[in-house]
A and B are shown apart, each in its own frame.
Chain A
Amino acid sequence: MEDVFNYAPAIALFPLVAFVVALTFGKYMPKKGALAGIIATGGSLALSVLMLVAVASGEVYHETLYQWAIGDAASEIGADGIEFTFGILIDPLAALMLVIVSLIAFLVHIFSLGYMNAEGETGLPRYYASLGLFTFSMLAFVYADNLLMAFMFFELVGLCSYLLIGFWFRTRSAPSAAKKAFLVTRFGDYFFLLGVVAIAATFGTVAFAGDNSFVAAAESAIDNGDTLFGFGAETWVTITALLVLGGVIGKSAQFPLHTWLPDAMEGPTTVSALIHAATMVAAGVYLVARMFGYYALSPTALAIIAFVGGFTALFAATMGVVKDDIKQVLAYSTISQYGYMMLGLGVGGYVAGVFHLMNHAFFKALLFLGAGAVIVLMHHEQDMWKMGGLKDKAPITYYTFLAGALALAGIIPFSGFWSKDEILYDALIVGLEEPVILAAYAMALVAVFFTGFYTFRMVFLTFHGEPRSEAAEDPHDIGWSIKAPLVVLGVLALVAGIANLAPVAKLAHIDITFLEHWLDGEYGAVEGLTYSAYGELLAFETAYIGGEQLTVLIAAGVSLLLAFSGAGLAWKLYSVPEPVAHKERLGGARQTLESNYYQDEYQVWLAEGFTQPLARAADRFDQTVIDGVVNSVSTASLFSSSRLKRIQTGLVTNYAALLVAGFIGLLLVLGYVGGWFL
Chain B
Amino acid sequence: MRLADGAHWVFSAVISNRSRSLLTALGIAIGITSVSLLTAIGEGVQQYVLESFSQFGARIIAIHPGRKDTHGAGGLLSTIRPLTLQDAAALRRLPGVEQIVPVVQGAGAVEYFKRQRSGVILGVGADMSEAWGFKVALGSFFSADLDQGRSVAVLGYTMRKELFAETNPLGQHIRIGGRRFRVIGAVEKKGQMLGIDMDDVVYIPAQSALQMFNRESLMEIDVVFAANTSLKRMEEAITTLLRQRHGRDDVSLTSQNDMLASMENILSILKMSVAALGGISLLVGAVGILAIMSTTVRERTSEIGLLRAIGASKPLILRLFLVEAVLLAMFGGVLGLLLLLLLQAIFSVLLPDLPMVFQPFFIVLALLVSGLIGLLAGVVPAAQAANLDPVEALHEE
Instruction: Please determine whether chains A and B interact with each other in the same assembly.
Output: no
B residues with a Cβ closer than 8 A to A are none
Which positions in A face B, CB cutoff 8 Å? Answer: none
